Each structure stands twice: as C-alpha cells, then as structure tokens.
Structure 1
Amino acid sequence: MKFGDVLLNFCEWIWRFMILNFLWVIFMVAGGVVLGIMPSTVATFYILRKWVQGNFDIPIFKTFKDVYKKEFINSNKCGFVFFALFAFLAFDLTILYKMEALYSTVLYIIVMTVLFFVSISFMFFFPLYVHFEQSNKDYIKNSFIIALSSPFQTLLILIGLYILSYIVKGNLGLVLFFFMVIPGYLIMHVSNKKFKQIQRSM
C-alpha cells in the first residue's frame, strides 16, 4: 500500500471518529444529559460495531438518529439499574470512609472491589447490547457474567485505556474530539472477539 493511501485511510478514520464523537455529545445534550447519555452511547457503539465488522458505508447521522430514538426508553431502563448500583455503592463508600473502626477498612476494600466489578460490567454492557437481542434482565445479567469470565479481555481493555489516557494527558485538545469514540472502538473491538468465541461455543 502506498504512503498516500495509508495517509488517506488514516484521515478518513480521524474524520469518522470526530463526526461520531460530535454526534455522541450533541444527542447526549439533546436528551438532557441524564436521559441522553445511555441512548447516545448505545447508538455510538452500534456504529462502532458496524465499523469493527468492516461495514463503513452506513450513513452515520441517519443510523445514529434511528438507533437513538429506537433505544431511548429501553437503554434508559437498563441505565437506571446501573446508576442505582453506582449511587448505592458510592453512598456506602462515603459512610465507610468516615468510620474509624478496623472492620470498616475491610468493608471499604470489599465495596471498592464490587464497584470496580460493576464498572467493568457497565463497560461490557454497551457492546453486548448492540450485539445481541436479549431482554433487559439478560443484558444486565450477562454483562456481569462476561465481566466475571473475561479477565484477559478486561486487562487488555484497561491497558489500552491507560495508554490512551497517557496520550491524551499530553494533548488535552484531543478530548473534545475523541473522548468517547476511540475508547469505545477499543472496547467494541475486544468485545467483538469475545462474542465470537461465545457464539462458536454455543
């Protein structure tokens, strides 16, 4: 492949990522942020899944808008469960942090571990949601199952996110354009391979 072709391909990817990240922000704000973040993120992962699978010809704006509208209510129902868990665990940590008893330290570590596990499950929720047709209950349950059964994929994603955060730390201007999409692409790419393994084993 010629250098010019490589450069053109690179620029096309940058453009795709910028547009998709822009749509994620706009539609999230359009939903009032709180109600917009779940359907906007689902729509983002839907398009990222298409790209990971080699489908680059989908109309980005139309596809994003259609998925956003279709999944607005359903994705927010799932999101409410996760956000309730996060709020409950954060409240517990606040209480335990103020306690001075020895057992509170042990409980603090346990709750922190649970919070980490819920965070990983939430991370896997979005690729799972756009890859399979399931009930809301199964989406949430299987997110936890995949998080528990995918230590290698989790480690791979965390290493990738750390590298990305290190790069962005020195180039804060990149956050505005790629904050969601590049980490999302990494998560979707790794998850897609995991899902293929699951489907082959069925």
Structure 2
Amino acid sequence: MDKIRERINDFCSMTIKLVYIQLLWLTFTLLGVVIIGIGPATYAMFTVMRQWIRGNKEISIFKTFFHSFRSEFKESFFFGIIYLVGGIILFVDLIYVQSPLLKGFLIIISFLYTVSLLYIYPILVHYEWQSMIQKLKCSILFGLSYLQYTLMLIVALAVVYFVLFMYPGVLTFFGISIGSYMIMFMANQVFKRIEMEAGVNKGVQLNEPLIKGGDQA
C-alpha cells in the first residue's frame, strides 16, 4: 500500500513539474518574442530534463532553467534560428514543389533534419564541444548510428502526440515538456552507449572536455 501511495505521489509530483517547466518554456519564449526566445528556452528546458533523467530530481527548476537560459543564450539562440528557419523552408518547399524527383530529395532532407532536430539540444546540454559544426554533424551521426533508438523515439512521439491531440487541454499543459522529456530520455540512452563504447564511462574522458557538469551517471 505504501509503495502504491509513493508511486502516486511521484506521478503527481512529476506531473506538476512537467506543467511548470512548460509554463517556464512558454513564458521565456514569449519574452523573447518567440524568434529570439525559443532557442534559449528550449536549451534551458532540456538542461532541466537532463538533470532529472540523470538522477538529480531535487534541483531548483527555476534556478537551473534561468541559469541555462542566460549562460548559453548566444549559442542556443543561433541553433534555434537555424532549425526554425530551416524547418519553415523545408515545410514550404514540400508543399509547393511538384517535381517527384525533387520532392523525394526533400523528403530525405526532411528526415535528416528531423533526426538532427531530435538530437541537437540533448547534445548541446550534454557535451562541451566548442565547434558548432561538430555539434550539427554529431546530431545527425548519432541519430543514424543508433537508428533503432531514433525510430523508436519517432514512433513513441507520434503515438503520444496522436493521443494528446485528442485532448487539447492536456496538450496545452504537457505538449512541449513531455516531448522534450522523451527526447532527452532516449538521447541519454544513446549517449550512455557511446560513452561506454568510447571508454568514457565512470569518469574517463576523451581528448576534449566531453561531458558537462561532471555528472556522468
């Protein structure tokens, strides 16, 4: 009985946290007039998700969110603009391009874009690589190298959002935060596989400073 009560409490606590982080994301995105705020707000949200997934569940959500939003503003803004503009261009092209050959090419590019989009923010909050090109390259490389994880993530997101769209009220409170949690969870599985295979588990690092925050759990 105590275990059931504890699980219910954990579920309710996590639900409240997901609502709170979504409200923070929405607030800071709007404060940045969307275009300026969406990248840094998304980075900050993924920072919080990473801490939760790696066992640091008692962190101050607002303090962690605000610090990440402010400290990594420039880079996260840059990536936010790249993916926002790139996504709009691809969307418009897919609608208006009539050539089957060109449309097929755009579908391939759109898939690579989706893979990169899924992994870029987890990479930004997890690794300390200095090169932006390396981060972009690895966002695709990781997703394709561990394609089974990527496909499972895409299917899981599709199922969850199919259900959420049937309940718009729930989507309003969880639509972004639950998706980011799922993405960070799966990306963390990929990172652990990569770190194990590269011999960086338990504190052994590669040539570059690899893992942010020193928490390699």
Amino acid at match of 1:189: F
Is residue 121 of structure 1 aligned with residue 122 of structure 2?
Answer: no
**TM-score, scaled to structure 1:** 0.90
Q: Is the 8 A contact 1:78 1:140 kept in 2?
A: no
Give the equivalent residue in structure 2 for 1:60: 61
| CA-to-aligned-CA distance 1:63-92 (integer Å, 9 cap, x gap) | 101100111111112233334433443454
Amino acid at match of 2:102: L
Provide the rounded CA distance (Å) in 2 between the counterparts of 1:163 and 1:89: 23
**TM-score, scaled to structure 2:** 0.84
Q: Is the 8 A contact 2:90 2:106 kept in 1?
A: yes
Q: Select which of 175, 179, 191 maps to 1:179.
A: 175
| CA-to-aligned-CA distance 1:92-148 (integer Å, 9 cap, x gap) | 435523xxxxxx212111112211211221111011111100122211111121122
Q: Select which of 160, 164, 175 maps to 1:164.
A: 160
Provide the rounded CA distance (Å) in 2 between the counterparts of 1:10 and 1:83: 33
Q: Select which of 187, 194, 197 maps to 1:198.
A: 194
Amino acid at match of 2:168: L
Is residue 111 of structure 1 aligned with residue 106 of structure 2?
Answer: yes
Within 5 Å, which residues of 2 pair with 1:15-164? 15-97=16-98, 104-135=99-130, 136-164=132-160
The structure whose residues are more often helix, as a share, is 1
Provide the rounded CA distance (Å) in 2 between the counterparts of 1:90 and 1:160: 22
Structure 2, unaligned stretches of length 5 or more? 199-217
Provide the rounded CA distance (Å) in 1 between the counterparts of 2:196 and 2:111: 29
Provide the rounded CA distance (Å) in 1 between the counterparts of 2:89 and 2:155: 28
Provide the rounded CA distance (Å) in 1 between the counterparts of 2:129 and 2:30: 27
Cα distance, 1:184 vs. partner?
A: 0.8
Structure 1, unaligned stretches of length 5 or more? 98-103
Q: Bigger shift: 156-165 or 72-81?
A: 72-81
Count of residue correspondences? 196
Q: Is the 8 A contact 1:47 1:64 kept in 2?
A: yes
CA RMSD of aligned residues (A): 1.6
**Identity percentage of aligned residues:** 29
Q: Bigger shift: 179-188 or 145-154?
A: 145-154
Give the equivalent residue in structure 2 for 1:14: 15
Provide the rounded CA distance (Å) in 2 between the counterparts of 1:89 and 1:9: 41
Provide the rounded CA distance (Å) in 1 between the counterparts of 2:37 and 2:133: 21
